[in-house]
Chains A and B, each alone.
Chain A
């Protein structure tokens, strides 16, 4: 049982390049989330998916798109990377809307030059 996995662990992009961050969970959770973590700002929600086939914007969605490919996988895409998107990105999942906590992946450290 791997929990929440993310790829890649590290990535360096040039401004304007695109890339997709991958996330998968093997806990049969319904809800999945993408956060970015910046120093002194905690974690901020980018997008989330309450169930397969649905996605919703979080606090900081601009410059990102997501795809809930199936119940296991939730990807985050940067179409045209900007230096302001340099951050650590965490994926998380939760069983459902009930009284459950979120489980986090190991993170992807992204640098945009």
Chain B
């Protein structure tokens, strides 16, 4: 069965620090990749998505992610985090044209001001 692994469950950073959250998936075929964010008390919102083309994807709020097919990875990055980035981040994968999205366990990011 397809699975998604997020490397860190909790990350604490100071403002202006750089962020990288790891995500690996197990499916060997063509996949669609997503990062969602859940701010405290809110529903999930899409940060960015990858379907095809340039493996470096830019999303909202200065986030970006790089798809490395050979490593089955889709890591999320931000050069300089802000206190308002405090949230839980989820990586998700589905097979190309598939109907089921498989989520990682999530990474809780806390940014200290």
Q: Is the CB of A97 within 8 A of B98?
A: yes
Chain A residues close to B by CB (< 8 Å): 31, 33, 35, 40-45, 48, 50, 58, 90, 92, 97-99, 101-107
- Show 6 residue pairs from A and B whose CB-CB distance is below 8 angstroms, ordered by the A residue: A42-B6, A43-B103, A48-B100, A92-B44, A97-B97, A101-B49
Q: In the assembly, what is the distance between CA of A31 and CA of B97, in Å?
A: 12
Q: Is the CB of B43 within 8 A of A97?
A: no
Q: How many A-B Cβ pairs are below 8 Å?
A: 49
- 1-54 of chain B: CB within 8 A of chain A: 4, 6, 9, 32, 34, 36, 42-46, 49, 51
What's the least CB distance linking B102 to chain A, in Å?
8
Q: Which residues does chain A contribute within 8 Å of B45, judged by CB atoms?
A: 104
Chain B residues close to A by CB (< 8 Å): 4, 6, 9, 32, 34, 36, 42-46, 49, 51, 90, 92, 97-106
Q: Which residues does chain A contribute within 8 Å of B99, judged by CB atoms?
A: 31, 48, 50, 97
Q: Which residues does chain B contribute within 8 Å of A98, judged by CB atoms?
A: 97
Most buried by A among B4, B42, B97, B103: B103
What's the least CB distance linking B80 to chain A, in Å?
26
- Name the one of A40, A90, A101 contacting B34, with C-beta atoms under 8 angstroms: A101
Smallest CB-CB separation from B9: which chain A residue? Answer: A40
